[in-house]
Each structure stands twice: as C-alpha cells, then as structure tokens.
Amino acid sequence: MKLKKYEVIGAVFTAIVGSLLHFTYEWSGNNPVVGAISAVNESTWEHLKLFVVPMIIFSCFEFIIFRKMHKNFVPVKLLSILIGMSTITVAFYTYKGVLGYNFLAADIGTFILGITAAYVFSFKRLKSGKFSSRSANIAGIAGTVVLVACIVLFTFYPPHIGLFKDPVSDFYGIR
C-alpha cells in the first residue's frame, strides 16, 4: 500500500511540477540554467522535459525510501520514464497526424496519459522484482545519466530534426 500511495503522489507531483516547468524559463528572465530543465520553446522535445525532470526529481526522493525494498528501483524508474516519453510522443504525433493540427486540451491529455503509463508501469514492475540484477542496475544508472545529459545537452545543441524544432519560431533549442 505504501508503494501505491507514493506512485500516486509521484504522478500528481509530476503533473503539477511539469506544468509549472512550462513557464519557469520565461519567469526566470530566460536564464539558461533554468532553461536546462524547463521548456525553452514549443518543440516536442522541450515538452518531454516537463515530464522527465519532475519524474526524476520525485524518483530521487522515492529512492531514499524504497532502495532497500525494491532492488530493481533504478532500472524500473528509467524504463518508466522511457515509456512515459514514448507514450507522450506517439499519442501527440498520432492525434496531430489524424487532425492535422494540435490543441491544448489534447496536449494536456497526452501529458497525463504519459504520466499515467509511466507510474502504472513503475508500480507493477517494482512489485514484480523484475530487473533487479546487478547488470540491470548498472544499465539503469548509465541510462539515467545519458538521459539527463541529453535533456541538458539538447537544450543547447539540439539535433536539427522535427522533434526538436519549435513549430512557432522554426528555431531549435534555446535562443
């Protein structure tokens, strides 16, 4: 029951903090340090940061509580984040491809869907004990480090592909 309560709290935390991160870069006067973890434009990648950053922050808090009970914590949380990112991306491009445009209510829905998918997967897999080997934990740590590095690096040096292009300004990354 304790795990379920924390996963629900984590989902709510991710939704609230992620929503706030949409505005923090502008609120900071376009501070590049804040931009490293906030959305700096309207690209899909920058919106994925709104999910990833608060989930990683909450996972660090959960790690303190659950690391001894759930030996699979790190790899499961990394997989959960990747599932959430994939869910958001697929849902967004699917509905936008069908309709030909995007709108705020659907964008919020894809965000909530990604959060839900991530935390449901996390809850089920943490309880299962799967991915608790030493190699899975090493891969989880390495993957998390790479993901965090990509979050920061691609803010300043994004690949010039559609995922990173701001549809409003036609620019990439921080300006």
Instruction: For residue range 68-91, list pLDDT tens digits in order.
Output: 888 999 999 999 999 999 999 999
Q: Are 65 and 6 in contact (CB under 8 A)?
A: yes
Residue 49 is predicted with a pLDDT of 97
pLDDT over threshold 80, residue 37:
yes
| Average confidence score pLDDT of the chain | 95
Both tokens assigned to 71: 């030996």
Residue 102 is predicted with a pLDDT of 87
Mean pLDDT of 47-59: 97
> What pTM did the predictor assign?
0.93
What is the pLDDT confidence band of residue 175, given thresholds at 50, 70 and 90? confident
pLDDT over threshold 80, residue 144:
yes
Listing DSSP states for 28-74 in one string gives TTS-HHHHTTS--SSSHHHHHHHHHHHHHHHHHHHHHHHTTT-TTHH
Distances (CA, A) of 56 to 25, 53, 87, 93: 19, 5, 17, 24
Residue 129 is predicted with a pLDDT of 84
E runs forming strands in the chain: none
